[in-house]
A = this chain, B = another copy of it.
Amino acid sequence: MTSYTPGNARIAFIGLGIMGAPMARNLVKAGYEVTAYNRDSARAEAFAKDGGDKASAAPSIAAAVQDADVVITMVPASPQVEEVILHDDGVLDHLKPGGLVIDMSSITPQTSIEVAEAAKAKGVKALDAPVSGGEAGAIEGVLSIMVGGDQEAFDAARPVFDALGKTVVLCGPHGAGQTVKAANQLIVAVNIEAVAEAVVFLEKSGVELSTALDVLNGGLAGSTVLTRKKDSILAGNFQPGFKIDLHHKDMGIVTDAARAVGSAVPAGALVAQLVAALREQGDGGLDHSALVRGVQRLSGGTPPTA
């Protein structure tokens, strides 16, 4: 396969949400011609207006995809991926044979495998390539990108990934990118819960929290969660960041995926419940570090958010 460089590849980008919009802009900045489609067409038109002569908007998936070499999808969850790629008048009905579809949504590994099989039947290549790094990582083009699929397609897509992310890794066959992303979300949620329980325990024990968290972060209890979330937890500031609502979706993915391969995730499943409870308690729009609010409620009280 030829490498998909800005000189020889047109990209269709489907899904201009919080993550997708800055990613599409970064592709234009890298020199790609990008045609965007979004269900709410205003976002695609804004992208075309602000993006200069390499950026355009399409009124339908068919129009976005028909002249593309690479299609990138960035939508909320598995049902939207199926709708956009697999259903009638979706990507696979219009992408030319030999094209490549890269789904960068975070979905179940099983759906990624189904997409790859359907693509293969149409003579199209597929990669699953979920990301981590959040909105800030998307804007700055420093996402971590976890890719599943074959080496040849990965190598061909490398210039596209390099326009979007800093750490780009082929994790294994179709679905493997989603599997690693799911493992990421499992560890992150459980590590946040660990910090949350320690924070409430320390507070109720009357220990000065800032000093204690610094000591803890300097030893084996240290984590990127503690480093990045300490200040906002101390301030009671749970502006997202990454929303509880989205982590709830991802905990569903990882518990489903673990069940599918016969892997026990007792702590993951417990924390999935605590995330779900937080959402039902009205905190779905807060940052996932708001798990500390869940522990505070279980312990008799919740301070107001900052």
Contact B299 A171 (CB under 8 A): no
Our pick among B186, B193, B200, B222 for the contact of A201 (Cβ within 8 Å) is B186
B223 adjacent to A219 (CB under 8 Å): no
9 new A-B contacts, CB < 8 A, other than A179-B212, A220-B228, are A144-B219, A169-B214, A176-B206, A180-B207, A183-B201, A197-B258, A197-B264, A197-B266, A266-B270
Residues in A lying within 8 Å of B, measured CB to CB: 109, 132-133, 144, 146, 167, 169, 171-173, 175-176, 179-180, 182-184, 186-188, 190-191, 193-195, 197-198, 200-208, 211-212, 214-216, 218-226, 228, 254, 257-258, 261-268, 270-271, 274, 295, 298-300
Distance of A188 Cα from B146 Cα, bound (Å): 26
List B contacts of A262 (CB < 8 A): 204, 299-300
Query: What residues of chain B lie closer than 8 Å to A218, measured between beta carbons?
Result: 144, 167
Which residues of chain B have C-beta atoms less than 8 A from A201's C-beta? 179, 182-183, 186, 254, 257-258, 261, 263, 265
Q: Are B215 and A220 neighbours in the complex by a CB distance under 8 Å?
A: no
Contacts of A167 in B (CB 8 A): 215, 218-219
Instruction: Give the chain B neighbours of A208 by CB distance below 8 A.
Output: 171-172
How many copies are assembled? 2
Q: Which residue of B lies closest to A193 (CB)?
A: B267
B-side contacts of A226, CB under 8 Å: 187
Q: A298 CA to B268 CA in the complex, in Å?
A: 14
Bound state CA distance, A224 and B211, in angstroms? 19
Residue of B215, B261, B266 touching A298 (CB-CB under 8 A): B266
B residues near A175, Cβ cutoff 8 Å: 205
